């Protein structure tokens, strides 16, 4: 549908439409609202009045944790968020002190990091953010509003709104906007909508992992202090992993993950037995003191997918892409919501600097924001041609040793956790002083007669063969 453009190319947008009212869409709306008159968020789901899982966000039933960097950003937009959620039963703790991270495969050394991990169920977090956003009179959130297409100016050089219908087949209508933000998640249709108007699809980097999740909400049988988080990583030869995270109300969520198409069982006794087959018993040990509160849920995560919108030669004005629609990560390090926050911050900043070439500037900023988490999430995973790029193989081999050393060295463990929480760059772990420390710790541990040899301390360990490669520092 072609429409007349309603603003000049250099003019600041007055009305923004955000497609998708999940975390990326809500945060984009919050970051943009200070720069425009109005923001309308459209979601095809009915949005729950209470914290509850919903169909448009099926991953919300599975283990979700908010990294410290994401919590910082959310706290900036919604002051008091951490305290409010803790008052509603969420848990807060230093991941180095309150988490057990079995990565290679011994746990990272316990350490105070100064980081705060906020442990709250995904439905409660999204519900809280939605309510806070709605307190701003400039924001409207419309449920049961399915976006069917983009609307374009006559020359198709500019997006001027979206075509919306309710899910039940109501008459499609135009919602005009000077800026449309695609935050519709991994199944975004922007590529298809643009190709129909003669634009090219973006180059994509796809890394298949074919992971299958099984998840239960659980509660401790006795009132014992359990860790706030327990993670057991996959290893070459053990392509299974698991993570348990505290949530509100004394509950926990536990997800078991099979790689390469292996589906962990959902029935509780078999679920617990599967946990026993992980590379470290820590998770199964904690689970043995828990009872399941539900029948369980499953999820398939086929592939990491990075759409390189920053590399397309031609892109319409009045449109940007963010969140999982821009890049979907393997949830291995729980980075998606934090990356969406970083992108939202970048979007607000880019618009604050002017609307000229907004998409180009924002997509470049978003790509820069994605670089680190992408490296962390996919390092070692074969690309579409079946190969693992050399730099990733080398870094993966080094990380293997780093994490082995970090199980004996609190300083290395703290540095790893900071990078995992998206404070700083993975390059910090490669700094010469850290590499020397890794070598020294591994040598020291190898010489200790009573010590169990750490992986990587003796003969070099093979990196995983293509197809069985395990991302660096994989948690699940």
Ligand X SMILES: Cc1cc2nc3c(=O)[nH]c(=O)nc-3n(C[C@H](O)[C@H](O)[C@H](O)COP(=O)(O)OP(=O)(O)OC[C@H]3O[C@@H](n4cnc5c(N)ncnc54)[C@H](O)[C@@H]3O)c2cc1C
CB 84 to ligand X: min, Å = 19
Query: How far is it, in rounded angstroms, from Cα 196 to Cα 179?
Result: 20
Q: Give the torsion through C-alpha atoms of 346, 348, 349, 351, to 10 deg.
A: 120
CB 152 to ligand X: min, Å = 17
CB 428 to ligand X: min, Å = 21
CB 434 to ligand X: min, Å = 26
CB 375 to ligand X: min, Å = 16
Nearer to ligand X, 254 or 337 (CB): 337
Nearer to ligand X, 301 or 309 (CB): 301
Residue 308 φ/ψ, nearest 5 degrees: -90, 65
Query: How far is it, in rounded angstroms, from Cα 195 to Cα 133?
Result: 33
CB 133 to ligand X: min, Å = 13
Q: Catalog residues that contact ligand X under the rule CB under 6 A.
A: 19-25, 42-45, 56-57, 59, 62-65, 146-147, 183-186, 213, 299, 301, 323-325, 331, 334-338, 340
What is the chain's percent helix, strand, coil content, to nearest 5? 35, 25, 40
Q: Do 142 and 29 form a contact (C-beta atoms < 8 A)?
A: no
Nearer to ligand X, 183 or 438 (CB): 183
CB 300 to ligand X: min, Å = 9
Query: How far is it, in rounded angstroms, from Cα 44 to Cα 170?
Result: 12
**What's the token pair of residue 459?**
């003969």
Q: Which residues pair with 306 in a beta bridge?
A: 205, 327
Q: Do 374 and 357 form a contact (C-beta atoms < 8 A)?
A: no
Query: Which stretches of 189-261 are assigned E, i.e. beta strand?
Result: 204-220, 229-232, 240-246, 252-258
Nearer to ligand X, 21 or 456 (CB): 21
Q: Which residues pair with 327 in a beta bridge?
A: 306
Nearer to ligand X, 63 or 292 (CB): 63
Nearer to ligand X, 147 or 230 (CB): 147
CB 254 to ligand X: min, Å = 12
Query: How far is it, in rounded angstroms, from Cα 272 to Cα 221?
Result: 15
Nearer to ligand X, 45 or 411 (CB): 45
Nearer to ligand X, 26 or 279 (CB): 26
| Residue 415 CA to its chain's centroid (Å) | 20
CB 199 to ligand X: min, Å = 18
Residue-wise DSSP of 452-464: PPPTTSSSPPPPP
Nearer to ligand X, 161 or 336 (CB): 336
**b/e 284-320 (16+ beta carbons within 10 angstroms → b):** bebbeebebeeebbebebebbbbbbbbebeebbbbbb
Query: How far is it, in rounded angstroms, from Cα 246 to Cα 4?
Result: 51
Query: How far is it, in rounded angstroms, from Cα 296 to Cα 292?
Result: 8
Query: How far is it, in rounded angstroms, from Cα 14 to Cα 37?
Result: 5
Nearer to ligand X, 188 or 463 (CB): 188
**What's the token pair of residue 313?**
């030669």
Three-class DSSP category at 242? strand
Nearer to ligand X, 40 or 113 (CB): 40
Q: For residue 44, which of 64, 18, 83, 5 has the smallest C-alpha distance?
A: 18
Residue with structure tokens 């316990």? 110
CB 338 to ligand X: min, Å = 5
Q: Do 412 and 404 form a contact (C-beta atoms < 8 A)?
A: no
Query: How far is it, in rounded angstroms, from Cα 370 to Cα 365?
Result: 9
CB 213 to ligand X: min, Å = 5
């Amino acid at each position: 549908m072609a429409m007349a453009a309603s603003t000049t190319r250099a003019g600041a947008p007055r009305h923004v439409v955000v497609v998708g009212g999940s975390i990326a869409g809500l945060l984009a709306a919050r970051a943009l609202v200070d720069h425009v008159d109005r923001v309308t968020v459209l979601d095809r789901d009915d949005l729950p009045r209470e914290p509850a899982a919903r169909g448009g966000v099926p991953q919300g039933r599975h283990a979700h944790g908010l990294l410290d960097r994401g919590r910082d950003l959310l706290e900036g937009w919604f002051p008091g968020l951490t305290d409010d959620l803790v008052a509603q039963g969420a848990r807060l703790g230093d991941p180095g002190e309150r988490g057990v991270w079995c990565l290679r495969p011994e746990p990272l050394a316990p350490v105070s990091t100064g980081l705060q991990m906020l442990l709250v169920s995904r439905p409660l977090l999204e519900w809280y953010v939605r309510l806070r956003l709605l307190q701003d009179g400039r924001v409207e959130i419309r449920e049961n509003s399915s976006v069917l297409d983009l609307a374009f100016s006559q020359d198709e050089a500019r997006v001027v709104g979206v075509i919306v219908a309710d899910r039940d087949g109501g008459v499609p209508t135009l919602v005009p906007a000077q800026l449309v933000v695609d935050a519709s998640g991994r199944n975004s249709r922007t590529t298809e909508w643009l190709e129909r108007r003669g634009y090219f699809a973006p180059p994509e980097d796809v890394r298949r992992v074919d992971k299958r999740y099984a998840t239960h909400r659980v509660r401790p049988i006795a009132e014992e202090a359990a860790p706030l988080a327990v993670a057991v990583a996959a290893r070459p030869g053990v392509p299974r992993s698991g993570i348990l995270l505290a949530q509100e109300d004394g509950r926990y969520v536990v997800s078991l993950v099979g790689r390469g198409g292996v589906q962990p069982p959902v029935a509780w006794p078999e679920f617990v037995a599967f946990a026993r087959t992980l590379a470290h018993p820590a998770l199964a040990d904690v689970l043995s003191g828990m009872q399941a509160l539900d029948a369980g849920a499953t999820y398939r995560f086929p592939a990491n997918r990075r759409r390189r919108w920053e590399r397309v030669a031609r892109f319409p004005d009045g449109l940007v892409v963010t969140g999982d629609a821009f890049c979907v990560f393997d949830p291995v390090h729980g980075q998606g919501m934090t990356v969406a926050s970083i992108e939202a911050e970048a979007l607000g900043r880019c618009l604050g600097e002017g609307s000229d070439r907004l998409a180009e500037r924002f997509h470049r900023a978003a790509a820069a924001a994605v670089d680190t988490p992408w490296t962390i999430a996919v390092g070692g995973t074969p690309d579409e041609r079946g190969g693992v790029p050399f730099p990733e193989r080398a870094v993966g081999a080094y990380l293997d040793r780093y994490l082995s050393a970090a199980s004996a060295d609190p300083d290395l463990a703290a540095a790893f956790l900071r990078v995992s929480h998206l404070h700083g760059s993975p390059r910090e772990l490669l700094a010469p002083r850290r590499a020397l420390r890794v070598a020294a710790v591994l040598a020291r541990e190898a010489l200790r007669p009573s010590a169990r040899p750490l992986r990587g301390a003796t003969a070099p360990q093979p990196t995983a063969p293509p197809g069985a490669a395990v991302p660096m520092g994989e948690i699940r």
